[in-house]
A = this chain, B = another copy of it.
Amino acid sequence: MEIDYKNIKVIGFDADDTLWVNETYFRAAEEEAGRLLSRYETPNKIDQELFKMEIKNLPTYGYGVKGFVLSMIELAVELSNGTVSNEVISKMLNIGKDMIHKPIELLDGVEDVLKALSKDYRLIVATKGDLLDQERKLEKSGLIDYFHHIEVLSEKQDENYKKLLKHLDIKPSEFLMIGNSLKSDILPLVNIGAEAIHVPFHTTWEHEKVTKKETNGADYKTVNSLTEIITFLK
């Protein structure tokens, strides 16, 4: 499929694992949680239970580090039958703070792509997670001047993108989304008639995975690296 880029007015970039590394830090934090709770359960069980706790709490807490830490603490109390030490709780609070203050590691070619595209298109960041957290990352990334603004969505489903387009006052065919998550950055856009380019990242959170059936027949482009995008969008 060819994207009719002449129509495109706004390009939305996902942030975490599209512009910069993120999932890697969550994986490391989960492993650390496994070590902190290792007297109560096997690493595998802890990992599974932490995922379940996060999903259970997702409608309440939403995405981002703070909800992750609250779920980790809730799991610690639960798995330890109410006997986990204050020291472990403190360490979990610190894991969260460390994640929030991690330096930004840009993915390959990001700056070149933004530089090239920002001349011809209005670029925005469209991301889940905490607003403050994402604003801070954008600031630290040095990329902020390439973007018109940042949109934080509480979810990335069809409805959320429809609201975004209404808010941007553009038609679906005038919007292109670029991101690493098929579930969040690609399929909803295909559903609402917008354009989407998939740039896979090596690690995908369980919650973001989709089955082959869900992508079957969906009309989107996949590139191996962000820099490929320049060649056909210029």
Residues of A participating in the B interface, judged by any CB pair closer than 8 Å? 60-63, 66-67, 69-70, 73-74, 77, 80, 82-87, 89-90, 93, 96-97, 100-101, 130-133, 135, 148-149, 152-154, 163, 166-167
Contact = CB atoms under 8 A, between A and B. Distances in A.
Nearest to A135: B154
Contacts of A135: 154
A100 B131 contact: no
Contacts of A70: 66, 69-70, 93, 96
A46 B5 CA distance: 59
A167 B154 contact: no
A167 B149 contact: yes
A135 B154 CA distance: 8
A66 B74 contact: no
10 contacts: A62-B131, A62-B133, A69-B70, A70-B93, A77-B90, A82-B85, A130-B131, A148-B167, A149-B163, A152-B152
